[in-house]
Structure 1
Amino acid sequence: MTTYSPDSSADSFSSVRAITTPSGPRREGQPSWNTQRNSAMPVSRYRSFAAEVENISLPDRTWPDKVATVAPGWCAVDLRDGNQALIDPMSPERKRRMFDLLVRMGYKEIEVGFPSASQTDFDFVREIIEQGAIPDDVTIQVLTQCRPELIERTFEACNGAPRVIVHFYNSTSILQRRVVFRADREAVKKIATDGAKLCVEEAKKYPGTLWRFEYSPESYTGTELEYAVEVCNAVAEIVQP
């Protein structure tokens, strides 16, 4: 039996079909931070799903009748979340080839790693920044827990990047509050708000980068709905999206 090694080929991501990087105009009304371009795909050839199904008129409902008519902002997470799911994680060389491919495919937001938790990820983020591999209109995304030393390490890794999304998180579920943190709701919310404040402070140290923030209450499905909303609103007040 022949065992295939992804690193054995000259270019694991080469294809006989050329990649056409989206280069169409930006959508009218698109926010300034969203640099995504229209695709070259012939979308006019296809009917929408809404046009294919029977129209059911139920005037008392609201959101089910709404139709998505434009593409969302795509963020590729192959290099962090996807890589984490692999039995054999990608080598730095494969990650670099994958990053370059995602740029060629037109992704404008690319999650590149967890630099505060992995020296390999830290080095990879520094490599693509120092070697000028990140186009000015591409935003890299990094993940960090709401711990001061990890947040500071994350900003250190991203120094010099044109655009960065710092995705910070902490656990908020009932079980983790009780077993892991042994803390009440206010104390766990403070972990989130302290993390948000530090992110804002750290961003001021690197004025050459356009910073954006994303927050997640980890284990959201095990968290009381009203409490999850309370924590997210408290964070939003600090980062002021």
Structure 2
Amino acid sequence: MEDYVKIFDTTLRDGEQSPGATMTTPEKLEVARQLARLGVDIIEAGFPAASLGDWEAVHLIAREVGTPDGPVICGLARANRNDIERCWTAIKPAAKPRIHTFIATSDIHLQYKLRMSREQVKQIVREMVGYARSLCADVEFSPEDAGRSDPQFLYEVLAIAIEAGATTLNIPDTVGYLTPDEYGALIRGIREAVPGVERVTISTHCHDDLGLAVANSLAGVRNGARQVECTINGIGERAGNAALEEIVMALHTRQQFYHLRTGIDTTQIARTSRMVSAITGLPVQPNKAIVGANAFSHESGIHQDGMLKHHLTYEIMRPETIGKDSVLVLGKHSGRHAFRKHLEHLGYQLSDSELETAFQRFKDLADKKKVVDDRDIVALIDDQLHQPAPIWELEQVQVSCGNVAIPTATVRLRGPDGEVRTDSAQGTGPVDAVYKAINRVIGQPNVLTEFSIKAITEGIDAVGDVTIRIQEPEPANGNGHGNGGAREQPEARARTYTGHGVHTDIIVAAAMAYMGALNKLIAARQERLRRQAAHYTEANAPAVALDLFGNSAWGRDG
């Protein structure tokens, strides 16, 4: 299908490498299901050799989402046997599995990272692509840092990959260095110079370091690429990746120019964007193309006058096309049935218990605000659905502060044993005092790396939306590289945990966000201890006991 462009979504792999965007396995599965509803052709579900957690997530997605009528489920692997074997075992349950293997081809990477010669790289490509093909009929090969590679050497490597059985050749601009003219010429040169290239799909993978990822991807498509690798909201390493929503809507809106199509259900774009933002804690900037809050807003009097006369004066696409609507208002007199129907209209399917919780939160908010619109409702529901299962629960927070008072906070928390604990602390401000009081109760060491607050809507009674990030205090040294900077040893990085809180009282929202991040940190520590314990047997090691805080009875030397 010469006019069809496959959409390869790498939100769960490259996108998750955004600092603080780490997702739990249930969250990854939720995003994968939504990507399937969106209609992406390929989901790169993760890097199975990176950690046990990554392997488990990819395996679960392959089993649950990789149905015969669903997307291809892909896993990333370095060009070595261990990675490729690990990848294959993870994606094998999928009806349509794909192994994506890579090795660098730029002289910079060969000299400083791989410490290999060109001949060694060619030999590895021949052997490892062939090995991947012996396991899986669908094999993608990426020459990392292709954008800075010698073209003649790149052509040789790609020819070897095709001969060894690659079915897709992905051409990464790993560091976002190229311009659209250069990247388009690179794709065109590959089509003209590489033997056998007509038998494979050429793919783009562009990073946004110079803000050119989408433009480069579209230049690649115009020059014959028929697969685009991208992420929801453009998240990813450093400045991120090409944004799926921008590429899809460019091809959709300018179909008469590109004469190309995708299989994306564009009405699912806004819902997918909101989900990924809520789960990762990475907000979408208001002026972000397609999915930003202001993308379909018109404030200028001239613009408003034109819009009232005809929407085409200032809108090249309708908000309904991506699943957005005009703002609707519900009030405190709205009933459960109307509330459920409205949530379904917004794209949410809640269980009875989830609906009851959401409805009560909506009613509480409606008592405090004169107007509750869709933005408030979306914030409440996303906050509810993407909070971790509570280990510690916030029952009460009380703050005293002022310009001549010492900020003092008292918190009451319910622990995993059901016991209620109360403590107080003083701080430099009300939020600092709240966090210190929580720390006195829970006692989990962490470093607060980011605190942000925004108003969901306009007005003095606006709902406050707080996002925070915390890290464990003593990260091990380590780094990884791969296609677009693939994380080879994520367990060695300082782990970052995101918390999210929504409330009309910003101090309460800040406390909720901190509790959410702490619960994720504690749950992650408990999971690591569980995995450590799995390597021991009753014959050679005692059972692992976890205290209320997720610490091992073994202590530091356990």
Q: Taking structure 1 as the reference length, what is the TM-score of the superposition?
A: 0.64
How far 1:143 sits from its partner (Å)?
0.8
- Any stretches of 5+ residues in structure 2 without a counterpart? 168-558
Query: Equivalent of 1:228, from 125, 147, 154?
Result: 154
> Which residue does the alignment assign to 1:90?
23
> Which residue does the alignment assign to 2:76?
143
**Which moves more between the two structures, 101-110 or 227-236?**
101-110
Query: Equivalent of 1:125, from 58, 65, 84?
Result: 58
Matched residue SS, 1:79: coil
Confirm or deny that 1:217 pairs with 2:149: no
Query: Equivalent of 1:185, from 118, 123, 126?
Result: 118
How far 1:125 sits from its partner (Å)?
1.7
What is the distance in 2 between the residues matched to 1:129 and 1:166?
12
Q: Which amino acid aligns with 2:144?
A: E
Matches within 5 A, 1:1-241: 30=1, 70-130=3-63, 132-137=64-69, 138-203=71-136, 211-239=137-165, 241=167
How far 1:86 sits from its partner (Å)?
4.1
How far 1:187 sits from its partner (Å)?
1.1
Q: Which amino acid aligns with 1:122?
A: W
After superposition, the Cα gap between the structure-2 partners of 1:111 and 1:240, relative to the gap in structure 1 and judged at 3 Å, is closer
How far 1:163 sits from its partner (Å)?
0.5
What is the distance in 2 between the residues matched to 1:139 and 1:72?
14
How far 1:100 sits from its partner (Å)?
1.0
CA contact (8 A) 2:91 2:98 kept: no
After superposition, the Cα gap between the structure-2 partners of 1:96 and 1:86, relative to the gap in structure 1 and judged at 3 Å, is farther
Q: Which amino acid aligns with 1:133?
A: V
Q: Computing the radius of gyration over CA atoms, which structure comes out larger, 1 or 2?
A: 2
What is the distance in 1 between the residues matched to 2:47 and 2:99?
10
Q: Which amino acid aligns with 1:104?
A: R
Matched residue SS, 2:135: helix
- Any stretches of 5+ residues in structure 1 without a counterpart? 1-29, 32-69, 204-210
Normalized per residue, which structure has more strand?
2
CA contact (8 A) 2:36 2:65 kept: no
CA deviations on 1:104-125 (whole Å, 9 max, x unpaired) are: 1222311111111122121012
What is the distance in 1 between the residues matched to 2:106 and 2:166?
24
How far 1:79 sits from its partner (Å)?
1.1
Q: Which amino acid aligns with 1:233?
A: A
How far 1:71 sits from its partner (Å)?
4.7
CA deviations on 1:119-166 (whole Å, 9 max, x unpaired) are: 212101222334x33221321111110011111111111222110221
How far 1:186 sits from its partner (Å)?
0.9
State the aligned residue count: 166
CA contact (8 A) 2:72 2:98 kept: yes
Q: Which amino acid aligns with 1:78?
A: T
What is the distance in 2 between the residues matched to 1:80 and 1:180?
21
Q: Taking structure 2 as the reference length, what is the TM-score of the superposition?
A: 0.29
CA deviations on 1:85-118 (whole Å, 9 max, x unpaired) are: 2423112221111111111122231111111112
Matched residue SS, 2:68: coil
How far 1:82 sits from its partner (Å)?
1.0
What is the distance in 1 between the residues matched to 2:135 and 2:66?
21
What is the distance in 1 between the residues matched to 2:116 and 2:65?
43
After superposition, the Cα gap between the structure-2 partners of 1:89 and 1:239, relative to the gap in structure 1 and judged at 3 Å, is same
Identity percentage of aligned residues: 27
| More RCO (CA 8 Å, sep 6+) | 1
